[in-house]
Structure 1
Amino acid sequence: MPTTQLPNTASLRPDFIWGVSTSSFQIEGATQEDGRGLSVWDVHCQTGEIKNHDTGDVACDHYHRYREDVGLMKTLGVQAYRFSIAWPRVLPSGSGSANEAGLSFYDRLIDELLAAGIEPWLCLYHWDLPQALEDRGGWLNRESATWFAGYASLIAARFGDRVKRFATLNEPSMFSLFSRSLGTRDGSSEDKLHRMIHHVNLAHGAAVDVLRANVIGASIGCIHNRQPCRPSSASEADAAAAARLDVYWNEAFPEPQYRGDYPPSMRAAIEPHMRPGDLARICRPLDWFGLNHYSPVYVKARADSLLGYDFGDKPANVALTPIGWPIEPDAFSRTLQDVHARYGLPIYVLENGYGDSGQPDQTGAVIDPGRIEFLKAYISAMNEAASKGVDVRGYFVWSLLDNFEWDSGYSIRFGLTYVDYASLQRTPKSSFGWYAGLIKAMQR
């Protein structure tokens, strides 16, 4: 590939890690096979509220096609693969008896990755809470920290001989703000939000301790969705709404996890749910900061909504992806610099990507120059941050495959690989070849 098509990577470390990311519910399918229990997302899909009434029942059928998907990763040349365990696949009731068939699936996946020379990065939780635990109060129940610790203990004992990289949670700010008590979509109570935030933080801390105690050489972090929250107008009300959302979106989890306390503006609201010693239980030693970044969020005030905000108009002079997300690579560079200055740990970018609805052309090829230009710009912005001293050590594209995109179902495609959901055939896009070329050039 001509070097003119590649981003500037001169400031990245020689041992920089290139990877791809997925999550269990979004790709695995096989939701009713081999003893898997229901997750909250299975139940939510049954409501018919997902776009086009899509479900995760089949998704990309990764459960049966994982060898093919590992083969795609090997062709890409990635050094690492970040995936998540489906909690209800290994513990159908969320706690209690383990499901051997579910554990065996991940044994096969991990072994396949290692045989291909790809390091497994295992995320314990990417939003698919067992419905059996939701029925017991879910994250609103303080016992959720104990449930999560038990689940982490199972995973550590089973896979810790082969997996050393662990993330406790993916984007806790996203599933607390937007999927709270998913079964009821209860957005009416700020007190419930604060209770959930605290319990999820306790669960994180408990899992860190379990992993440290049971996995020799474990390297542990948490994955945070971090986007600047900006007012959509010059009004004071919009500025105040953006500032408040910024605290809940960007600070409610990393601040207690990495620095030992909640942001001052929300501390009083959390205190009714705290017990002595809780902050110490949350702030456990971590090895790295996992960053997911896409684009800034533009916010307007809305008095009748939770936290007093809504999403506002984007600036007219900002380019957008086909799904309407701003393309602002400078914001990515500044976010990396902010995380470095605030937390002082190595950073791994574990999600960054471009959504569209691209389809094959008449030849069957999927040509996606927009994705290539996006990745090129954002990787160049990451390099700029590295040139300013930011300790960024890895970059994982979201995603290896087109997949189930939550409430949008299958209408949005983030993959480097096109998935025909009727046949489940995989077709690498032009961005797949571009990313493979970049990785190959970096390894010379």
Structure 2
Amino acid sequence: MSMPTPQRPPLRFPPGFGWGAATSAYQIEGAAKEDGRGESVWDTFSRTPGRTRNGDTGDVATDHYHRYNEDLDLMRDLGLRSYRFSIAWPRIQADGTGAPNQRGLDFYRRLIDGLHERGIAPMATLFHWDLPQALQDAGGWESRDTAHRFADYADIVFRALGDRVPVWLTINEPKTVVQNGYLSGHHAPGRQDPDAAYLVAHHLHLAHGLAVRALRATGGPGRIGPAFNLHPCYPADDSPEAAAATRLYDGYENRLYLDPVFTGHYPQDVLADLGPDSRLARGIADGDLEVISSPVDLLAVQYYTPIYVTAGGGTVGRWPTSQAPWQQIYPEGMYDVLTRVTRDYGPVPITVTENGLPTPDTLGADGSVDDPGRIAFLRDHLAAAHRALTAGVPLESFHAWSLLDNFEWDEGYDQRWGLVYVDYATQRRIPKTSAHWYRRVIADNAL
């Protein structure tokens, strides 16, 4: 007689763990020309022929601007305890300066009130890449002035909404702006200028620090921190050359962003590699690093993929990829990233604000959308996050990317990352199998 397979005990998460999902404004809102919203760099970029797959734009996206109440009900039905979204700077200041647009503030007030009515904690990101085009025309993030304009915008938002938002995130993934916007050029503003790229990194950091100080100046109760996509870097072989190349690669991928915020210094190996005459080195003014390292309340970590570095400083694949060719599926990297941050930078509270993958989702004949690959991915990454918790990482919450299928930047609408399927022709929302699975995880507070 065969013995039954023993059931492993569930992985229980701490009481009050913040189960959530995430979105960003340009990817879901649409209403690109409504209620006083100005143009952003992503409006310009996506409307430029050849920049996005199929010429797709965020002009309509998932029409969240008009359908937010329906989306709030979806969040309630999922059992979400936290919702991480972003505020579109061009909705608040059409050209990035001056008096606020009250209609824009009112939209976010309605959204935030709707979250509270449903028992969901708002987590608001101030900048998720949609820089007002007027500021780009004046130099964009290459201009030091943009960091100060960002601080003014942040102050407006804090004073209008700060009484209702418990957690603020400053800049979403500055690394992606640097690497995709200014190195490869396949994100807005579509530049390929390495020297400009790292000056941009500095000004994004400065904007972060100025926003932290702006929140403190309001005396509001909200907590604040940055949102970094961190990629664990591993040597591709056992050679000393690969180890050395990996260390420098990690400097550009991770320490260039973590170190200035948490230690008040840029990594010396990166500065040396860029050289003393780099625009980054020349762009650091007295007092900048004190501003950048203003104490934060938490760190938002976004984990998608590991990186394997060769002796020559290149990269190789080691694990299966998702529909996004850059994404290797390696759940262990979640554990490595979270424990590394705690080990190297101390016990700063951590929230995971993005983790997910695209899968080839289709609407079945019975009206359902089955996405077992997403369930396996989330289950394995949550198990790694749980292991980090048991190792002492102060992880407070987890947000799946994404709540909805949406505009995936230069990939347009071809990649579906959501827990909820969106039929773009009708804007009908259909929770996928993964959404039903995630609802059970949240209800059980356990895997």
Structure 2 length as normaliser, TM-score? 0.91
Instruction: Report Cα offsets for 1:37-56 as digits up to 9, x if no partner.
Output: 01000000111210111100
Instruction: Report Cα offsets for 1:39-94 as digits up to 9, x if no partner.
Output: 00000011121011110000000000000000000001011100000000110010
Quote the offset at 1:154 in angstroms.
Answer: 0.6
Contact 1:260 1:282 in 2 (8 A): yes
What is the alpha-carbon distance in structure 2 between the residues aligned to residue 84 and residue 358 of structure 1? Answer: 25
Residue 391 of structure 1: aligned partner: 394
Contact 2:127 2:170 in 1 (8 A): yes
Counterpart of 1:75 (choices 62, 70, 77) is 77
Matched pairs, number: 430
Instruction: Report Cα offsets for 1:303-331 as digits up to 9, x if no partner.
Output: xxxxxx66x4412xx23324342221111
Counterpart of 1:432 (choices 425, 432, 435) is 435
Counterpart of 2:192 (choices 169, 173, 187) is 187
Query: Is residue 421 from structure 1 mapped to residue 424 from structure 2 by the alignment?
Result: yes
What is the alpha-carbon distance in structure 1 between the residues aligned to residue 76 and residue 189 of structure 2? Answer: 41
Instruction: Report Cα offsets for 1:216-245 as digits up to 9, x if no partner.
Output: 212111111001234556787766654433
Residue 293 of structure 2: aligned partner: 283
1:2-17 pair list within 5 angstroms: 8-10=10-12, 12-17=13-18
How has the CA–CA distance of structure 1 residues 241 and 95 changed in structure 2, closer, same or farther, with 3 Å as cutoff? Answer: farther
How has the CA–CA distance of structure 1 residues 40 and 184 changed in structure 2, closer, same or farther, with 3 Å as cutoff? Answer: closer
Residue 159 of structure 2: aligned partner: 157
SS of residue in 2 equivalent to 1:252: helix
> What are the ranges of 5 or more consecutive residues in structure 1 without an aligned counterpart?
303-308
What is the alpha-carbon distance in structure 1 between the residues aligned to residue 8 and residue 412 of structure 2? Answer: 32
Residue 19 of structure 1: aligned partner: 20
Counterpart of 1:144 (choices 146, 149, 154) is 146
> What are the ranges of 5 or more consecutive residues in structure 2 without an aligned counterpart?
1-5
Contact 1:21 1:397 in 2 (8 A): yes
Quote the offset at 1:13 in angstroms.
Answer: 2.0
Instruction: Report Cα offsets for 1:177-236 as digits up to 9, x if no partner.
Output: 111386652223x32122111111111110000011115212111111001234556787
Quote the offset at 1:5 in angstroms.
Answer: 10
How has the CA–CA distance of structure 1 residues 149 and 301 changed in structure 2, closer, same or farther, with 3 Å as cutoff? Answer: farther
Residue 3 of structure 2: aligned partner: none
Residue 257 of structure 1: aligned partner: 261
Query: Is residue 212 from structure 1 mapped to residue 216 from structure 2 by the alignment?
Result: yes
Query: Is residue 272 from structure 1 mapped to residue 282 from structure 2 by the alignment?
Result: yes
What is the alpha-carbon distance in structure 1 between the residues aligned to residue 136 and residue 8 of structure 2? Answer: 46
Counterpart of 1:132 (choices 113, 131, 134) is 134
Contact 1:45 1:56 in 2 (8 A): yes
Quote the offset at 1:16 in angstroms.
Answer: 1.2
Q: Which amino acid aligns with 1:187?
A: Q
Quote the offset at 1:258 in angstroms.
Answer: 1.3
Counterpart of 2:56 (choices 54, 57, 60) is 54
How has the CA–CA distance of structure 1 residues 381 and 7 changed in structure 2, closer, same or farther, with 3 Å as cutoff? Answer: farther
Residue 200 of structure 1: aligned partner: 204
Q: Which amino acid aligns with 2:225?
A: G
Residue identity (%):
43
Q: Which amino acid aligns with 2:65?
A: Y
Contact 1:164 1:215 in 2 (8 A): no
Contact 2:181 2:189 in 1 (8 A): no
What is the alpha-carbon distance in structure 1 between the residues aligned to residue 242 and residue 9 of structure 2? Answer: 36
Counterpart of 1:357 (choices 360, 366, 379) is 360
Deviates more, 1:18-27 or 1:231-240: 231-240
Deviates more, 1:44-53 or 1:321-330: 321-330
Residue 88 of structure 2: aligned partner: 86
Contact 1:156 1:215 in 2 (8 A): no
Contact 1:8 1:380 in 2 (8 A): no
What is the alpha-carbon distance in structure 2 between the residues aligned to residue 319 and residue 6 of structure 1? Answer: 27
Residue 42 of structure 1: aligned partner: 43
Structure 1 length as normaliser, TM-score? 0.92
1:164-175 pair list within 5 angstroms: 164-175=166-177
1:407-418 pair list within 5 angstroms: 407-418=410-421
How has the CA–CA distance of structure 1 residues 236 and 52 changed in structure 2, closer, same or farther, with 3 Å as cutoff? Answer: farther
Quote the offset at 1:253 in angstroms.
Answer: 1.7
